[in-house]
Structure 1
């Protein structure tokens, strides 16, 4: 299957930097709330490695972090970030797998899957809940975020990020249209400007499966997981733990 990030990975770490300013403290708090639970941590859909860096900072020590990222273009940035930091280099193992095929160990302290659920068709999402529920250590948790839209609806074209680097301005624009009973198609544009004049533009379309929080909670419950919100409601962050933990 074609890599939807092959043409856009050049821009994505810049585009998501602003969102991560809010995610860092929320993810840190969620992970520290796991208390004395021991075991490795998995970062599913690790992207450019911002999440892996937060995991290592929030959970100091020598526990392994498995960063799972199927996109070769995204892994190039991820590996550079990991290699550049001595602690990340000693703890983070980068796996070139997708969510469905990653060889996850048992006894996991946490699974972090931010900005990932929309990439998974419903059957793969349900398989993730079932597999993750079996592999969590007692007291472990899955950390996910639920981003709008949560139903197949139109999203008008919006500038999502604008970042200056040197003499150039980088912009990310997005819009979406319904493309199925439970999915939308995102239309993304990445523009590079100098003095307000466009130098280049890359456009990328990708599929995104949508689901409401209540629908996700029902799916998770069928796998023996309890889903609850955590942190600032605006971030859509949720913890999933095994029933009874």
Structure 2
């Protein structure tokens, strides 16, 4: 269901990665999901430098691993790790770290740990690319159909709504439907916490770790590049 998002996000991520000054070193994606970002990263940064795909969800990791295995150009280069963003064993001298569609999953303390990890591990000229999406404050999000896709005779829909659930968080309520000719065949509901933060707050946190945050690409996609001052 996220395929439509990546039609615009993939090229934007590639453009952001082209701004990274470091020319060599491992690349890491935290919260790699089902692998669409990994595919974009490897296309944007060709070569034989290793790529680490960090994804704690076993369901998403299964799709990610299948996607990597089925593409020779990925299979020879990408390693899939089951850890989360904070606890994954990452190498030093990183050319880039990518965290798109994942910041909201991290409580503030873990988010700060991510900034610190990037600051310590990035190679000279390396960068952290992050995605920042609304809402930026705890507020209600009305029920909206977020995605719809047809596969064969079935249609798959994703519906979302959110309610404030803390000082810096909301709770997303996700409904996933499978339909045939408009008739509901199955439904799965998932609730999860999402930590919100404004661009200015994220920039301040990054600055505490010695990183400078600046926009990368079109504002509506919410991509930012974090680097050490002067790099």
TM-score interval for Structure 1 and Structure 2 normalised by the shorter chain: over 0.9
2:209 aligned partner: 223
Tell me, yes or no, if the aligned pair for 2:160 and 2:174 is still in contact at 8 Å.
yes
Distance 1:116 1:50 in 2: 14
Tell me, yes or no, if the aligned pair for 1:37 and 1:137 is still in contact at 8 Å.
no
1:15-46 Cα offsets, whole Å, 9 max, x none, are 10000001111001111222452100001000
Distance 1:37 1:58 in 2: 12
Q: Unpaired segments of 5 or more residues in structure 2?
A: none
Q: TM-score, normalised by structure 1?
A: 0.93
1:156 aligns to 2:142 (yes or no)? yes
Distance 1:130 1:33 in 2: 21
RMSD: 0.7
Correspondence for 1:74 among 49, 60, 68: 60
1:143 aligns to 2:161 (yes or no)? no
1:195 aligned partner: 181
1:182 aligned partner: 168
Correspondence for 1:118 among 92, 95, 104: 104
Tell me, yes or no, if the aligned pair for 1:40 and 1:66 is still in contact at 8 Å.
yes
Correspondence for 2:27 among 41, 51, 58: 41
Instruction: From the superposition, tell whether residues 106 and 36 of structure 1 become closer, same or farther in structure 2 (CA, over 3 Å).
Output: closer
Q: CA deviation at 1:97?
A: 0.2
Distance 1:58 1:154 in 2: 37
Instruction: From the superposition, tell whether residues 36 and 131 of structure 1 become closer, same or farther in structure 2 (CA, over 3 Å).
Output: closer
Count of aligned pairs between the two proteins = 231
Tell me, yes or no, if the aligned pair for 1:37 and 1:138 is still in contact at 8 Å.
no
Q: CA deviation at 1:244?
A: 2.2
Q: CA deviation at 1:131?
A: 1.3
Distance 1:44 1:35 in 2: 20
Tell me, yes or no, if the aligned pair for 2:29 and 2:38 is still in contact at 8 Å.
yes
2:193 aligned partner: 207
Distance 2:30 2:163 in 1: 26
Q: TM-score, normalised by structure 2?
A: 0.99
Q: CA deviation at 1:83?
A: 0.2
Distance 2:48 2:152 in 1: 37
Distance 1:61 1:40 in 2: 11
Tell me, yes or no, if the aligned pair for 1:45 and 1:116 is still in contact at 8 Å.
yes
1:30 aligned partner: 16
